[in-house]
Structure 1
Amino acid sequence: MSKLPHIGTSIFTIMSKMAAEYNAINLSQGFPNFPVDERLTEIVARLAKEDVHQYTPMAGYPPLISKIAKLTLQSYGRSVDPETEILVTTGATQGIFTTIQAIVKDKDEVIILDPSYDSYEPNVLLSNGIPVRIPLNDDYTTNWDLVEKACNENTKMIIITNPHNPTGKILSLTDIEKLEAILEKFPNIILLSDEVYEYITFEQKHISVNTRELLRNRAVIASSFGKTFHVTGWKVGYLIAPEQLMYEIKKVHQFLVFSVNSLSQAAISEYLDIVSVDEISPFYQQKRDYFRALLSKSRFELMPCEGTYFQVVSYKAISNENDVDFCKRLITEHSVAAIPISTFYENSKDLRLIRFCFAKDNATLEKAAKRLCKI
């Protein structure tokens, strides 16, 4: 009997497979197609000849853990203990899975805000927890009254994604304060804050849970070097959490993967000495603005994009099809792949919105936009 009877093939897999079959430009799955920083690849080439190929300590490569602590202090003014409050993970997805496995027990309820990243619910189900999915408003703001009404003595966790995937929305200060008020009323709830796009924000920076004293002592924060440094295939992320939570998370981590790829950890550790994360947002803002300009004469309506490298668009002026069918036809007839937003909802809510990834070189964006403007 399946542990996940209602979970099928991921929409990312479906769309990327179709894109390959039809030789379409793949703006669906969230991965960059431009070269990695040569400084990083040079570090990898050199380190590959050195003694960095055996297991690292379970929690991570010690120099990298120290630099994560330094990065957190520089970025957010938070001092974290490298020994007890940081864990290097095989991507943020493994960190999120491990966190939920460690904290969520049988019949515990976990609040998930829809549209939501597709790994959250399966993780909760595999822990025998109960996913409680609450839809965002149609403008992707959060209805905190609904969130509070869903909280009870069985609620173990609330998951937030900030900046938000798939919508690119950033939580405001008012949002954070309302979340703090809810958690103050329910002191047993743990917050899981997925902040993998933390360094890809535009007009305003996101408010990290790292900066909120009322939240961080009961929160697990997930970050991703793969997203930050355009090396998604390396699958290196990290968690920050208070010692009492991290102690439980490490118990699961040691039997799940034990330790993370040693060469990648050593390379990122060195790279952090020469790169500035402040360069990342301007780089992606230029891509966002360029892609939006290219689509400005199309019939797609551009939704706000405050962070991440995803642009949500409405196709209401083009078609009345449901978003899954529209995305499939976009591939078969126009050779561009996108992701339908309805697949991120529990009830497949369809607002005729789709998502493009603009983490591509300019030539790819130009070629895709030319095809999209002809629709």
Structure 2
Amino acid sequence: MAERVVILSAGMGAGHDAVAGELARRLGERGAAPWIVDVLGLLPGRSGAALRAFYATTVRYAPPLYEGIYRAFFTPRGRPVADTSPVVVPAARALARLLARADRPPRAVVSTFHLAAQACGRLRAAGQLQVPSVVVVTDFAAHRQWVHPANDLHLCPTPRVAEQVRALGGGDARAPGPVVPPGFEEVAGGPPDAGYAGWFGRRAPGRTPVLVSSGAWGVGAGLARTVETLSRGGCLPVVLCGRNEALRRRVARIPGALPLGWVDDMPAVLSAVRVLVENAAGQTAAQALAAGVPVVGYRPIPGHGVDGARRMAADGLSSHVERPGRLLAEVTALAADGPLRRARIAAGRALFTADPAALVARAAGLADSPVATPHPPPR
């Protein structure tokens, strides 16, 4: 019987689920039996759904409120301590019951969301979780909710995030790189997808296609103005509107813009654009780094979005700009072939040094498998 590995995710946007799904796919290829659980569904009643709705509402309509919450409860202050908030305690209890009722005990539990990391750490510290607890950090800037000192291993997207985790009290922290599905690494330097490239070329001949991401929920401050700025500057803004149909209709009314709904083939889209403008420093940014598409962080969402955009820029992985005029200048510079573009592509792809799933498998004591999975250099 295949060894069970439990992967804890959360339906907060699509990024955490995307990472959990890719880890499950890779672990399945190694003969494991992955089981993905939404940690929000473990909370009593409908409190998990209420928490998700509150987050989505504050980010969309009251960003200063969410920024205040984030600074109060997520950013480091003083001596690092484990979270014992009312949200963590019921999640940990429900997780313990779930694991006790499972068809077989897991060999490891993997968290791709910070609430799950806190719940697992609490159980690990109490001796109620007897198998390794691995945390896969999905943010480009680690906040204190990602870290519980009892967790065994943190897998981070960058070396700087690993340093932050250790500074926050985490133990073993490594930086194998972000977790992205297959297909993105073949994009860098290769031919663009004929379908998307042809569509973009017919829509706006001679204009530079620039991808604008608003996340799965289609949120962000001043998205319409961002699109207008790029369009007036001679670009073709290709806008990922996620599941926000109202945003898609609004973007469709902007001259020179091309709105897209939910996209299943992101490698093909990224192959046909020159730059990504994004506002969350999340999964789309990680995919662009793997694909060799330069990233510009602009008007990021509050909290982890702001911190992630700043951290990516400080690490030389992206640009973080705040003014419309600077946005257009940065996009133009990165779209052009030259040393700046090549340096950004190389920095992004250099992050992918190992397979996080292989490190999970090793922590779980599963069959040995190669850990290093270097990406080919950009062509």
Task: With the length of structure 1 as denominator, give the TM-score of the two structures.
Answer: 0.31
Highest RCO, 1 vs 2 (Cα 8 Å, sep ≥ 6): 1
